[in-house]
Chains A and B, each alone.
Chain A
Amino acid sequence: MTPVLNEPLSQLSLLFVSASMGFLALALMVFSFELAQLVKTEGATKVITKGERVGFILLWVATIILGTGVVLRGIAAGRVPWANMYEFAISTAFLMLLIYLTAMSIKDLKFIATFISGFALVILFASVSLFYVEVKTLMPALQSYWLVIHVVVAVLATGFFSIAAGLHIAYLVKAGNLAKRLMNVFPTLEQLERLAYRFNVVGFVLWSFTLIAGAIWAERAWHRYWGWDTKEVWTFIIWVLYAGYLHAMATRGWSGKRAAWLGLIAFLSVIFNFTIVNLFFKGLHVYSGL
């Protein structure tokens, strides 16, 4: 009946998550150094340099260690490891890294490796230092298989949106003629825009799904499928903003910089939804555990 929590195992999980941060920091340093090196070379290079290879090995190691930490956390709690803010954050960081590394094998995305490793490091740092809570059993409201579906899809969507956000930033820096020499080695504006679009499209489909799954769950748990709870409001706002981004991409004069800004604002809303709304807004989704 009552699941047994494994405290030592959750400590081990924390150790893995922390170790992963070390490797991420190393990867971040290597990638930054390589970017600095690239500035000195003339023209874009498609081949992956030795240094970059080291960076990606470090990133893979960080991802595998983090994945182990996430899985151990799940075993320690006897359930899926995304039932509070800390767990959601480490799961998001892990899946984002996994999506990025998988996408790397299909498409050359090495130029945002610095952003990805840096962002993952920030997420993990925030989760370990600000959001950390001991393993807890689930409150009855969260005991539902919808926790598995609704949240994992939200985590995945966040992963895709994060990568797109990195591409938006690269686009805006390049389009703004900043860091010119560095940006010369980046893909063209058009390529950056298209890549961002693809990640956002997948993210948007997943986000739509998580919205529907959340509504189905809300109907079971709170007897209404939609009640404008603060979290529901922000899920809606994010959905509408990304819908706006997709429309912008199809509107003459709105693709390019404006669409990139819109995509970035939408992503900031995702971050806002996860941090500020969780911590400071009153609502039914009080699962942050803090």
Chain B
Amino acid sequence: MATQSFSKLLFWPRWVWRQLTSMRTALFLLLFLALAAVPGSVYPQRSADPNGVRLYYSEQPELAQVLDSLQLFDVYTSVWFSAIYILLFISLVGCVVPRTKVHWEAMLAKPVQTPKNLKRMPAYTEIKSDSSVIESSNQILKKLGFRTEVQGNSVSAERGYIKETGNLVFHYALIGVLIAVGLGGGYSYSGQRVLVEGEVFVNNLASYDAFNPGVFFDEEVLEPFKFRLDDFEVVYDLQNLANRGTPIDFIASITQTVDGVDEAVEVRVNHPAPVPGANIFLTGNGFAPVITLRDGQGNISYSGPTIFLPQDGNMTSLGVIKAPDALPEQVGIIAFFYPTAEQLESGAYTSIYPDPFIPLMTMNVYTGDLGLDDGIPRNVYALDTTEMELVAGRDGPNPPLLLEVGDVVQLPDNLGSVSFDGLLRFASLDIAYNPGGIWVLAFSMLALFALMASLLIPRRRVWVRQLEDGTIELAALARGDDAKLDDFLLTVKTRIENEIAK
């Protein structure tokens, strides 16, 4: 009675387990996984395109909220996507483990009993001969890599066990990939830093503009190194007419200091530079004009190289200057930099080449409240002009300021002066470390080779039986698709015939 209710109790779990580990379920889960991955390519993802998400929120805030609540901006870490792949991997384990046991036993077992009726096999042929071929057939099949057994008047042979081995290893290797991705991601980190030529980066958390640690990240892993961006060079195509102005190469020359030893290295796209415990990658670049601002009382209220963000292929760049301590009023400037400036008919400027041949800067000057005093964090690359007044600009009371390198220009209304002291470049560098990568690669390669073994190596059974009437029956059977089964049996036949002829 007790056992009966116990087995009743186990009925549903067993049923669920059987369903989950069935091939049909695996198939459905695969299709769901493919389907679930689609929205991640339609909607911007926080992991790949955080700006896209921000843009979505500013353009369609209500829809963005709905999408966000469905985790459509974080598809690949979402509950539903995770649920599918976790179920898929459980199904995989439940399918592969019992198969491993079966395969293990098959590998230890002898070849099967020769079937009674060989004529029914998918590949079949005969030889007429009275000479005994059983022993020689046995040897021939052994040489062809078969595991054989002589069973009275027949030989039973099988080869291609590696097909199933490959199949199983492939699936285990996928588990390996998943674990390596998970653990590796946990111990990884990547950080971004924008460096202007001449600036030095010292590897500690405070030095990064942005830092993305994995869940197991420990600050201790940051190795004590530093490097200086000596020079940033961009090579543009000047030779090919149709291609003029296309970047050919970006080269960041840095001097890195490890344990007090200086070394000059280059960081280029596709060519990261190794540093202790990480790699330095070049991910972006632009101009950093050196600007000095003096207020109405002659005091320096802003000074230094300023990051200008590139806006187009000809490096028209946008920069923002905020001088909260300027007197009598706070000053904000939105500046455009044109490396090779040309004036349009409308009077506006544009850049016609990305290298600085005719560099020009235009400035729109605002006064008023910069919005920095109430402690709310503000984007340094944007100027909120809602509480400010335009004093110089295209639609302002005074024309915009125009500066070439070396110029000093007076601001209107005795607000002070601004100078364009020099032109530097900046580089955006990523410092990244992922210990899982090499393991992901190792398991992926293992999976690939196992996959090839599983899909391309045939598993074949061959039987040779000598009948008393002088007929020698040959038959072959393959597991799954095997294009060359008939040809192969003919090869065996020819070899046996040659042996008879000897």
Q: Which residues of A contact B (CB under 8 A)?
A: 1-2, 4-5, 7, 107, 134-137, 139-141, 143-144, 194, 197-198, 201, 204-205, 208-209, 212, 215-216, 219-230, 233-234, 236-237, 240-241, 243-244, 246-248, 250-251, 253-254, 262, 277, 281-284
Contact = CB atoms under 8 A, between A and B. Distances in A.
Contacts of A143: 249, 269-270
Contact of B246 (A136, A204, A228): A136
Contacts of A220: 270-272
Interface stretch (B21-29, B128-136, B195-203, B334-342): B21-29
Contacts of A107: 483
B24 A254 contact: yes
Given A205-B451, A212-B444, A221-B270, A228 B34 contact: no
Interface stretch (B36-44, B152-160, B380-388): B36-44
A244 B30 contact: yes
B451 A140 contact: no
Contacts of B24: 251, 253-254
A212 B445 contact: yes
Interface string B8-28: 000000000000000110110
Contacts, number: 149
19 contacts: A1-B249, A5-B242, A136-B243, A137-B246, A140-B248, A144-B270, A215-B444, A221-B269, A223-B279, A224-B190, A233-B40, A237-B34, A237-B38, A240-B30, A244-B34, A247-B23, A248-B27, A253-B24, A283-B41
A10 B243 CA distance: 14
For chain A, what secondary structure do more than half of its interface residues adopt (helix, strand, loop), or is it mixed? Answer: helix
Contacts of B49: 282
Contacts of A283: 41, 48
Given A141-B270, A205-B452, A233-B40, 15 more contacts: A1-B248, A5-B243, A135-B242, A135-B243, A137-B246, A140-B247, A140-B248, A143-B249, A197-B481, A205-B451, A216-B441, A223-B283, A228-B45, A244-B27, A247-B26
Given A2-B239, A247-B27, A140 B190 contact: no
A7 B242 contact: yes
Contacts of A262: 31
Contacts of A209: 448
A135 B242 CA distance: 8
B477 interface: no
Interface in B117-160: none
B235 interface: yes
Interface in B259-304: 268-272, 279, 281, 283
B74 to A, nearest CB: 10
Given A140-B249, A201-B456, A244-B27, A212 B441 contact: yes
A238 to B, nearest CB: 8
A223 B272 contact: yes
B283 to A, nearest CB: 8
Interface in B73-132: 75-76
Interface in B452-476: 452, 455-456
Interface of B: 23-24, 26-27, 30-31, 33-34, 37-38, 40-42, 44-45, 47-49, 52, 75-76, 181, 190, 235, 237-243, 246-250, 268-272, 279, 281, 283, 430, 432, 434, 437, 440-441, 444-445, 447-448, 451-452, 455-456, 480-481, 483
A1 B238 CA distance: 11
B301 to A, nearest CB: 38
A222 B441 CA distance: 16
Contacts of B456: 201, 205
B279 to A, nearest CB: 7
Closest 8 CB pairs of A and B: A140-B269, A244-B30, A223-B432, A233-B41, A240-B34, A223-B281, A5-B240, A230-B41
A236 B37 contact: yes
Interface centre among B23, B41, B283 (most CB of A within 10 A): B41
Contacts of B246: 136-137, 139
Contacts of B441: 212, 215-216, 225
B279 A250 contact: no
A262 B34 CA distance: 12
Contacts of B270: 140-141, 143-144, 220-221
A137 B235 contact: no
Interface centre among A2, A7, A205, A253 (most CB of B within 10 A): A2
A41 B190 CA distance: 69
Given A143-B269, A233-B37, A282-B49, A247 B242 contact: no
Contacts of A219: 437
B272 A198 contact: no
B481 A198 contact: yes
Interface centre among B31, B76, B235, B430 (most CB of A within 10 A): B31
A51 B403 CA distance: 75
B240 A2 contact: yes
A198 B239 CA distance: 48
A212 to B, nearest CB: 5
Nearest to B236: A2
A241 B27 contact: no
A2 B34 contact: no
A250 B430 contact: no
A163 to B, nearest CB: 15
Contacts of A2: 235, 237-240, 248
Given A1-B235, A137-B246, A240 B37 contact: yes
B452 to A, nearest CB: 6
A274 to B, nearest CB: 14
Contacts of A224: 190, 432, 434
A137 B240 contact: yes
A224 to B, nearest CB: 7
A237 B39 CA distance: 11
